[in-house]
Amino acid sequence: MNMIKWLCFGVMLAGAVVVSFNLDPILGIELLFVGNAAWLVTAVRSQDWPSAANFAMLATVWLLGIVQYYIG
């Protein structure tokens, strides 16, 4: 389970680097969303509810950012 969390962290780190260097902001936000959503699934499967609540909130924020980018 720890290896999966490190992979999720790596995806989120890649998204943060993409956004930070202004390479492709929407790609970075999508990577952050995918990393957070994957970590959320991992947290729910391991019944780590505080972590699941935290990553559900973060995944929702990134999802709303993606929706706002494509709609508005």
Using alpha carbons, list the distances in angstroms from residue 56 to 2, 5, 17, 65, 67: 19, 15, 22, 14, 16
What tens digit of pLDDT does each residue of 27-69 get? 999 999 999 999 999 999 999 999 999 999 999 999 999 999 8
pLDDT of 72 higher than 90: no
pTM across the whole model: 0.86
What is the spatial distance between Cα 42 and Cα 25, in angstroms, rounded to a whole number?
26
